[in-house]
Amino acid sequence: MNATACVEGQNIPGGLSDLPTFVGLPSKKSARELSGSAEELLRGIKTVLDNLLLRAIENRTRAEFIATREKVFSDYFKTVSALSNLARVIVPPPTLDRLIVESLLELEADLLEHGLARFGVLARDQAIFTIWTMRKTNRLISVIAGAGPVPESLKANDERIATEFSLTSMLGHFHFNCLVASIQFNKAINPEVLNEICDGLRFTVNAYGLIRQGVDLRVARTEPTVATYEWDEEDKELLASSMSDLEDEDL
């Protein structure tokens, strides 16, 4: 797909240090720590997102899904960006951190309970792997937040990575949340459409590879307040998968 065209003209962060870290909505537990007005506002925005996702998953053919995705993705991008920025203002930082973790845990539990019957084993397992990848990505975003901005000499590269990451990550979230909407609203997805959605989940792995590039820009410097991040075997596996996908995908 021509991913860049989906969000042409949108406001994308200038650098990785400006990235929002909010994904998902308040979990049942963390929602109790929000004010009534804050929770109501976040859920009002979610209604907008749900309507966009339902328009996508209700299509009967791959071609119809792709056409709808091209129509709604720009609005999805803007709405999720607004939700993320708003959450950072109205949700206390400790609650926001828990919100991210708990929302992913709840989504994983929903997939484990309903995913097999609704999507089959391959799609369910791919969706669970996507959640695992999101956790890894959020961990690296935290590393970037702790490291702060890059030197002026690396700023252009950092901005390029941030632009590609914002787009790629949002595409991955869009396809993942199509599966979430199917479960939440008890909407069956046509197998032809499901295959296209699962193919779109790989954008999440590509996003991981990009955010790791952003970390590499920072950990190479000597920063006494930031511990050097060491890549484990899971990081290496994801990076290899991401780099392979990026070679095949024209963003």
The number of angstroms, rounded, from the C-alpha of 106 to the middle of its chain's C-alpha atoms is: 15
| C-alpha pair distances (Å), 157 with each of 160, 163, 211, 214 | 5, 10, 12, 9
Tokens 């396809």 label which residue?
175
Q: What is the pLDDT of residue 145?
A: 82
Q: Per residue in 167-197, pLDDT tens?
A: 999 999 999 999 999 999 999 999 999 999 9
Q: What is the pLDDT of residue 236?
A: 56
The number of angstroms, rounded, from the C-alpha of 50 to the middle of its chain's C-alpha atoms is: 16
Q: Per residue in 117-175, pLDDT tens?
A: 999 999 999 999 999 999 999 889 888 888 878 889 999 999 999 999 989 999 999 99
Q: What is the pLDDT of residue 20?
A: 57
Q: What is the pLDDT of residue 239?
A: 53
The number of angstroms, rounded, from the C-alpha of 29 to the middle of its chain's C-alpha atoms is: 21
Q: Which pLDDT band, with edges at 50, 70 and 90, does 85 fall under?
A: confident
Q: What is the pLDDT of residue 43?
A: 76
CA pair distance 172, 150, nearest whole angstrom: 26
Residue 207 in domain? yes
Tell whether the model's pLDDT for residue 234 goes beyond 70.
no
The number of angstroms, rounded, from the C-alpha of 190 to the middle of its chain's C-alpha atoms is: 23
Q: Which residues contact 155 (CB under 8 A, 6 or more apart)?
A: 15, 149
Q: What is the pLDDT of residue 181?
A: 94
Residue 165 in domain? yes
Q: What is the pLDDT of residue 200?
A: 96
8 Å CB contact between 96 and 21: yes
Q: How many CB atoms lie within 10 A of CB 138?
A: 17
pTM over 0.85: no
Tell whether the model's pLDDT for residue 35 goes beyond 50.
yes
Q: Per residue in 192-213, pLDDT tens?
A: 999 999 999 999 999 999 999 9
Residue 57 in domain? yes
Q: What's the structural domain count of the chain?
A: 1
Residue 122 in domain? yes
Tell whether the model's pLDDT for residue 251 goes beyond 50.
no
Q: What is the pLDDT of residue 19?
A: 64
Residue 209 in domain? yes
Percent of the chain exceeding pLDDT 70 equals 71
Q: What is the pLDDT of residue 227?
A: 46
CA pair distance 1, 186, nearest whole angstrom: 28
Q: Per residue in 2-15, pLDDT tens?
A: 444 555 545 555 67
Q: Which pLDDT band, with edges at 50, 70 and 90, does 247 fall under?
A: very low
Return phi, psi of residue 10, to 5°: -75, 160
Residue 85 is encoded by which pair of tokens?
A: 């920025």
Q: What is the pLDDT of residue 81?
A: 83
- Report the length, in residues, of the chain: 251
Domain that holds residue 222: 18-248
CA pair distance 59, 186, nearest whole angstrom: 15
Residue 170 in domain? yes
Residue 141 in domain? yes
Q: What is the pLDDT of residue 97?
A: 73
Q: What is the pLDDT of residue 219?
A: 79
Tell whether the model's pLDDT for residue 233 goes beyond 90.
no
Residue 9 in domain? no
Q: Which secondary-structure segment (H or E) carries 133?
A: helix 121-147
CA pair distance 65, 146, nearest whole angstrom: 39
CA pair distance 111, 187, nearest whole angstrom: 14
Q: What is the pLDDT of residue 11?
A: 53
